Amino acid sequence: MLVQSKLLRLRRIHRLLPSTFSSLRRCHSDSPSPSRKEHELTVTQVVEHLQNPPNDWDYDKLRPFLFEASHHLLPVTLRLNSIPKALDFINYLRSRTEHHQALSCVFEGALELATQHPNSQKELLILHSYRKSNGDNIALTSRSAFLLLKCLGEAQMVDDSLLLFKELDSSSKSSGICNELLKGLFKSGCIDDALHVIDEMLERDSDFPPDDFTGEVVFGVLGKQERHGRSFADDEIVGLVTKLCEHGVFPDAFKLTQMITKMCRHRKNGVAWELLHVVMRLGGAVVVKAASCNAMLSGLGRERDTQRMNKLMAEMEEMGIKPSVVTFGILVNHLCKARRIDEALEVFDKLRGKGEGNDRFDVEPDVVLFNTLIDGLCKVGREEHGLSLLEKMKTTKQSRPNAITYNCLIDGFCKAGNIGKARRLYSQMIEEGVQPSVVTLNTLVNGLCKHGKVHDAVEFFNEMKGKGLQGNAGTYTALISAFCGVNNIDKAMQYFDEMLSSGCSPDAIVYYSLINGLSIAGRMDDASVVVSRLKRAGYGLDVRCYNVLISGFCKKKKLERVYEMLNEMEETGVKSDIVTYNTLVSYLGKIGDFATASKMMKRMIKEGLEPSVVTYGAIIHAYCLKENVDEAMKIFEEMCSKSKVPPNTVIYNILIDALCKNGNVERAVSLMDDMKIKGVRPNTTTYNAIFKGVRDKKMLQKAFELMDRMIEDACSPDYITMEILTEWLDAVGEIEKLKCFVDGYPVSSSASSPFSKCML
DNA sequence: ATAGGGTTAG
């Protein structure tokens, strides 16, 4: 009875520790294997004997075990079921003569016991340092090495891991041991050491070749964000994956997708592409599924690489990798972003397999696909078409419109200036039972603000707050920008404070919008305060924010602060961009420091930045301010002939204004003809400048001609236009002509229209 | 794979 139950217990240990016995065999394969019963009895006896205090242990009784039958010591140790007891036993053995094998087996047992301990990591480390601090080295069995490497790896004790691995001869190394070492090395960011180990595993006829677990470790690391240590070089990544695949170790679909996603996110489309193609070549459609291709496609889409997107689609078809809805979602999204909306609609129409033609795919469009298309349509001003898709969605079972669908449409109608329709869509979504999100709130708040209805925006926000929908940083950004835009800085600050007190965590952009508003308002001290608060919140400034500040300090002529900003940019590694230089060139031009301005231009070219229309505009404007219109014209002509920069309306406006002010109206008029030839559209400012010019020269006929042209150009007059013309034409008794001019425009119902101010 | 918020010159 008793024997039988103990036998059962041993079998249980067998099952629990399958590798124990394999290492036991390796540990002592030359000793004769006793019958199971005989073995069992002796183990039990020894275990019982060892329950006595160590001083009472009888060496003579134990002796047979310690030599010819030392492999029994592993089950013995396990059944001691106590790490201190096992250590007593180890100390006992060490105090005698040569018991190498016995020690190895008991130590392995002690390690096994440690792994079963609730605080196994700590216990294992204690055993490791015990072994390390006792110079008479206890040889490690494969299992011991495995357990120790696993725990050292987790503890990131790289040096100890490597020493331990070196200690092993190649016959006791195994794939499992190498994998544990690799895991630890990667965890500590020791890529070079890890690559060495992998090389060793990949050697010809290696006894420990990479297996699936190796793949899991390596591919896992390649797919995760790197922590510390150096990162992989591009060719190392491709080389590693290639070698593993050649050994038949493939990433699963998830890991492959993860790796590709990561590479693409790091703007390494080339590496991702190679990686995918290595696996496609060696593993085929068994390994590569649509998801991995989708990751690649979206990476390519981000870089606008239509060519390779098409190539990959063709390869997928060739290899029999079936595209999913997501694949089509990516394609449609790409086409929409490229403003090729009609092609996107074509793809969409080919989706459902119902109809005729064999160029159709058997894919049911989902909500995302619908939403992508609707957004694309709205972004090119085809909201009505988007609306019809909304109706289509309502007729489906699986693709019911959701908040995103409505958000896209609401945004579309807001941008188109149809606030009424946007609000009706909002009511409609509520009626349909679709919960608005904070994005819905922000879209409407922003839309209302952008159309000068800041009051309505605030009202709507309050209404939503009443319904329990909190605003987020985006909501406050919209309101703060809007209030800054109408020069109501106090209100903007008030909303900034409300945001903080309402528990909404601000992001960098809210700070930026406030800094922007304050800078434009010339309140640079306040802006500086917000900058330091932003920094205290743990954010940094980006180029755009620096540009705003630099521009603000320039306007206040605080040159020392400008340089302070530029130095700070250098220190924090924020690279100045074309806008930074344009701001500086413009400022230098305005104070008449042409020498420094041209130095700046040289520096920007050296930095690889091409001067833009704005740069030229700044210089041209500067010469105009100096009343050196000839030089300004010279630069303008140079810009048109030598550079690839096409002139724009602003440049013409600057020159036309300057020429008129210098009495050279003829040349200004000829510049307007030049605009027509070059296809640059004049705007209200252009006409205002030239009207002033012809008025000063009393060129009445020219004025009538220009008034007709202004109507042709569909360019609406503002109050300045009306002021110039009314005063002048009234004085010369030509008010009829002015009436005709005004009648040339379609009637505007807007109360803020410039006409209403003048005509009523 | 889809939705929202802050830059320069005149």
Residue after which a domain boundary falls, among A528, A557, A586: A557
Out of A70-79, A285-294, A487-496, which region has the weakest mean confidence (pLDDT)? A70-79
Q: Which residues contact A693 (CB under 8 A, 6 or more apart)?
A: A656, A659, A660, A661, A665, A668
CA distances from A671 to A615, A665, A676 (A): 20, 10, 9
Residue A743 identity: D
> Is the C-beta of residue A591 closer than 7 Å to nucleic acid chain B?
no
Residues 106-135/A with CB within 7 Å of nucleic chain B are none
Which range is least confidently modeled, A114-118, A185-189, A616-620? A185-189
- Mark which of A524, A557, A590 sits at the end of a domain: A557
Of A residues 333-372, those with CB within 7 angstroms of nucleic strand B are 333, 366-369, 371-372
A480 touches strand B (CB under 7 A): no
Residues for chain A: how many in total?
A: 760
Cα distances (Å, whole numbers) of residue A337 to A312, A314, A664:
19, 22, 46
Residue A691 maps to a domain: yes
- pLDDT digits 0-9 by tens, A493-544: 999 999 988 888 889 999 999 999 999 999 999 999 999 999 998 899 999 9
Q: Assess whether A407 (CB) lies less than 7 A from strand B.
A: yes
DSSP A32: P
**Which of A103-107, A171-175, A497-501 bottoms out in mean pLDDT, i.e. has the lowest?**
A171-175
Please check whether residue A339 lies inside any domain of the structure.
no
- Residue recorded with tokens 């510049």: A671
Compute the distance between CA of residue A489 and CA of residue A517 in angstroms, rounded to an integer. 7
Residue A720 located in a structural domain: yes
Q: Is A104 inside a domain boundary?
A: no
Burial tier of A649 (Cβ tally within 10 Å: 0-12, 13-18, 19+): middle
Distances (CA, A) of A379 to A302, A303, A580: 18, 20, 29
Q: Is A472 among the domain residues?
A: yes
A 601-620: CB within 7 Å of strand B: 613-614, 617-618
Is the CB of A656 within 7 Å of strand B? Answer: no
SS3 A458: helix
Sequence-ordered list of residues with C-beta below 8 angstroms from that of A340, at least 6 positions apart, any chain: none
Residue A613 token pair: 């229309």
A680 belongs to a structural domain: yes
Last residue of a domain, one of A557, A582, A603: A557
Q: What is the mean pLDDT of residues A346-358?
A: 69
Number of domains in chain A: 2
Res. A474 pLDDT band, cuts 50 70 90: very high
How does DSSP assign A472-512, residue by residue? -HHHHHHHHHHHHHTT-HHHHHHHHHHHHHTTPPP-HHHHH
Spatial distance between the Cα atoms of A262 and A222, rounded to a whole number of angstroms: 8
The residue that leads in pLDDT, A351 or A273, is A273
- Stretch A272-278: mean pLDDT: 90
Please state whether strand B lies within 7 Å of residue A516 at its CB atom.
yes
Its domain, for residue A730, covers 674-760
As a whole number, mean pLDDT of residues A604-610 equals 89
Between CA A164 and CA A200, with CA A169 as vertex, the angle to 5 degrees is 85
Which among A365, A283, A379 is positioned nearest to A331, based on CA atoms? A365
pLDDT score, position A374: 93
Average pLDDT value for residue range A214-237: 76
Query: Cα Rg for chain A, rounded, in angstroms?
Result: 39
C-beta of residue A361 within 8 angstroms of C-beta of residue A332: no
Q: How confident is the model at residue A11 (pLDDT cuts 50, 70, 90)?
A: very low
Distance between the alpha carbon (CA) of A485 and the C1' atom of B4, Å: 19
Burial of residue A398, with CB atoms counted within 10 A of its CB: 0-12 exposed, 13-18 middle, 19 or more buried: exposed
A522 found inside a domain: yes
Section A282-298 average pLDDT: 88
Determine contact, residues A636/A678, Cβ cutoff 8 Å: no
CB neighbours (10 Å) of residue A12? 10
In whole angstroms, what separates CA A626 from the centre of its chain? 47
Average pLDDT over residues A725-733: 91
CA neighbor of A389 nearest in space, from A422, A416, A411, A365: A365
B6 closest protein residue (CA to C1') = A513
Residue A120 vs residues A75, A112, A114, A130: alpha-carbon distances, Å: 19, 9, 5, 15
Residues A393/A422, Cβ–Cβ less than 8 Å: no
Q: Residue A473 maps to which CATH number?
A: 1.25.40.10
- Nearest residue to nucleotide B7, by CA–C1' distance, is A544
Confidence of residue A22 (pLDDT cuts 50, 70, 90): very low
Torsion sign, CA atoms A634, A640, A645, A650: positive
- Nearest Cα to Cα of residue A583 among A610, A555, A561, A605: A555
Q: What pLDDT, on the 0 to 100 scale, is given for residue A579?
A: 93
Protein-to-nucleotide distance from the CA of A382 to the C1' of B8, whole angstroms: 31
- Within 7 Å of a protein beta carbon, the nucleotides of strand B are 1-10
Q: Is A452 helix (H, G, I), strand (E, B) or coil?
A: coil
- Stretch A404-417: mean pLDDT: 93
Distance in angstroms: CA A542, C1' B2: 28
Mean pLDDT for the stretch of residues A228-246: 79
Q: Is residue A593 part of a domain?
A: no
Q: Which two tokens stand for residue A630?
A: 């000839």
Under the banding of pLDDT at 50, 70 and 90, the label for residue A321 is: confident
Round and report the angstrom distance from CA (A587) to C1' (B9). Answer: 10
Q: What is the DSSP letter of A680?
A: P
Q: A413 near A383, Cβ under 8 Å?
A: yes
